[in-house]
């Protein structure tokens, strides 16, 4: 599938009147139903319009998310399952609660089940219990971090998963997770299609790293860099409290540096931000350590924020280990930086103190902040709208401040990364004052 093929699959004709009783006319003070012809442009700039006009092409556009006038599923006969997979992330419980409440109160779907511990929960040999979900059960869960359903990493037997869906008579499966979870959801959809079943698979994007393609923002991201903001503030105090004090903070960001970049911008006391998208050298006249020493000689303290996936090229080549989800296990760049800085400064008899802080697992286990809580609810509601209308193999997204439906294969085709020529990265460079390049031959 091309990244330009944004067509959302539908299970069939929608003939059940929605119970939402919305409007189809403007000016009556009632929210309007959304149609499949309502689109959100990918490029809203004038240049984008001119490029499309010049090439005589239809502009790339996403299907707008929202409630449809007619549904594929009869709510009274609909049975739903919800599963959370992968690493923890602020907002998971908010999304679960949002899906349950939307189904129960708005669509009157009352048979809702939670699958425990990710895709493992579908496999009988694990013997994980299935939880019946209702508004009373989920009423307080948004106040807690983590997920009440539990989670796990790694793929499971897709045929066995679909066997379970069939045995449970599930009509809709909501998969809440990141890249690996969504790939698994697509595989489940493929097996469902192969069997000729009418089960909708809806994805809700969860990645603390904010690295899902064609989605401006994922839930939990804002909470994570907001918590990092406070950690940076305290670490800055630590660095200033010693002569030539250095504080290194490692934040999550396996392949993309969005958390590190936004955290640095939110607390503009950071002097260096190192992310996976950039190359840099440790040594030499323009290398990181030389730049760090210059900063210390000028101000006698320095703050360094590094994303976990940054600088992996600095480690000796060896066979790469992978976790259960197939992600490469990165080496600890924060510890490496601490060791190399200490080694170099001791060798040159340059006085310093250095502290290394890794708050990653505290951040990802926290409850969602207010803005993320709103966003989680909106993602959940729009996922329910799409699934009840028989849409499948889709993930609910957000683009240009509008909620969208995106085919899962498009969302997982490649990871979103910081573009070093983007305004975001330029903002980081302006805020930190770090050189545009820390390579000896830029």
**Long-range residue pairs from 332-339, CB within 8 A, at least 24 positions apart, any chain:** 332/250, 332/358, 333/250, 333/274, 333/306, 333/308, 333/309, 334/248, 334/249, 334/250, 334/306, 334/308, 334/358, 336/311, 337/248, 337/274, 337/288, 337/304, 337/306, 337/311, 338/248
Does the pLDDT at position 1 exceed 50? no
pLDDT value for 330: 84
Average pLDDT of the chain to the nearest whole number: 93
Region 221-365+420-432: CATH code: 3.40.50.460
pLDDT value for 313: 93
Does the pLDDT at position 319 exceed 60? no
Mean pLDDT, range 403-425, rounded to an integer: 96
Local structure of residue 205 (DSSP, 8 states) = E
Region 9-218+368-411: CATH code: 3.40.50.450
pLDDT value for 361: 85
pLDDT value for 51: 74
Mean pLDDT, range 130-154, rounded to an integer: 96
Does the pLDDT at position 324 exceed 90? no
> Residue 2 — very low, low, confident or very high, per pLDDT cuts 50/70/90?
very low
E strand or H helix that includes residue 305: strand 301-307
> Residue 391 — very low, low, confident or very high, per pLDDT cuts 50/70/90?
very high
pLDDT value for 360: 86
Does the pLDDT at position 172 exceed 50? yes
Where do the CATH 3.40.50.450 domains begin and end in the chain?
9-218+368-411
> Residue 71 — very low, low, confident or very high, per pLDDT cuts 50/70/90?
very high
Local structure of residue 103 (DSSP, 8 states) = I
> Residue 322 — very low, low, confident or very high, per pLDDT cuts 50/70/90?
low
> Residue 93 — very low, low, confident or very high, per pLDDT cuts 50/70/90?
very high
pLDDT in tens, 337-377: 999 999 999 999 999 999 999 998 889 999 999 999 999 99
DSSP 79-97: EEEEEE-SS--TTHHHHHH
Where do the CATH 3.40.50.460 domains begin and end in the chain?
221-365+420-432
Q: Which residue has the higher pLDDT, 427 or 58?
A: 427
Burial (CB count within 10 angstroms: exposed 0-12, middle 13-18, buried 19+), residue 213: middle
**Residue 209: active-site member:** yes
pLDDT in tens, 20-69: 999 999 999 999 999 999 999 998 877 766 776 677 777 889 999 999 99
Find the catalytic residue in 179, 187, 209, 372.
Answer: 209
pTM greater than 0.85: yes
């Amino acid at each position: 599938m091309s990244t330009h093929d944004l067509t959302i699959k539908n299970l069939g004709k929608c003939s059940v009147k929605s119970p939402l009783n919305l409007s189809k006319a403007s000016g009556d003070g009632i929210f309007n139903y959304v149609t499949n012809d309502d689109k959100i442009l990918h490029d809203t700039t004038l240049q984008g319009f001119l490029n499309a006009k010049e090439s005589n092409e239809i502009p790339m556009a996403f299907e707008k998310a929202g409630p449809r006038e007619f549904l594929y599923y009869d709510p009274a006969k609909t049975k739903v399952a919800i599963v959370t997979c992968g690493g923890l992330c602020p907002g998971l419980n908010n999304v679960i609660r949002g899906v349950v409440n939307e189904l129960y109160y708005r669509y009157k779907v009352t048979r809702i089940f939670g699958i425990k511990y990710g895709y493992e929960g579908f496999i009988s040999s694990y013997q994980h219990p299935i939880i019946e979900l209702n508004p009373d059960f989920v009423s307080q869960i948004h106040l807690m971090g983590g997920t009440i359903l539990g989670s796990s990493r790694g793929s499971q037997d897709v045929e066995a998963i679909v066997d379970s869906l069939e045995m449970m008579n599930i009509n809709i499966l909501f998969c809440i997770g990141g890249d690996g979870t969504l790939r698994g959801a697509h595989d489940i959809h493929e097996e469902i299609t192969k069997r000729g079943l009418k089960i909708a698979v809806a994805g809700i994007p969860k990645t603390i790293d904010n690295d899902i393609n064609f989605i401006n923002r994922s839930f939990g991201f804002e909470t994570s860099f907001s918590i990092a903001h406070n950690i940076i503030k305290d670490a800055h105090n630590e660095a200033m409290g010693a002569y030539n004090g250095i504080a290194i903070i490692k934040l999550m960001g396996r392949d993309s540096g969005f958390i590190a970049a936004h955290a640095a911008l939110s607390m503009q006391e950071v002097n260096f931000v190192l992310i996976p998208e950039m190359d840099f050298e440790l040594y030499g006249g323009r290398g990181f350590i030389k730049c760090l020493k210059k900063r210390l000689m000028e101000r006698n303290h320095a703050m360094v924020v590094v994303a976990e996936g940054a600088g992996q090229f600095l480690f000796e080549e060896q066979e790469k280990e992978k976790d259960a989800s197939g992600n490469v296990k990165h080496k600890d760049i924060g510890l490496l930086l601490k060791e190399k800085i200490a080694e170099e400064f001791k060798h040159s008899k340059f006085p310093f103190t250095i502290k290394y802080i890794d708050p990653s697992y505290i951040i990802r286990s926290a409850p969602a902040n207010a803005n993320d809580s709103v966003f989680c609810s909106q993602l959940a509601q729009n996922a329910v709208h799409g699934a009840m209308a028989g849409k499948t193999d889709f993930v609910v997204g957000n683009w240009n401040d509008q909620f969208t439906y995106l085919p899962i294969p498009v969302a997982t085709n490649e990871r979103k990364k910081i573009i070093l020529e983007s305004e975001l990265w330029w903002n980081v460079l302006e805020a930190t004052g770090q050189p545009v390049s820390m390579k000896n031959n830029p």
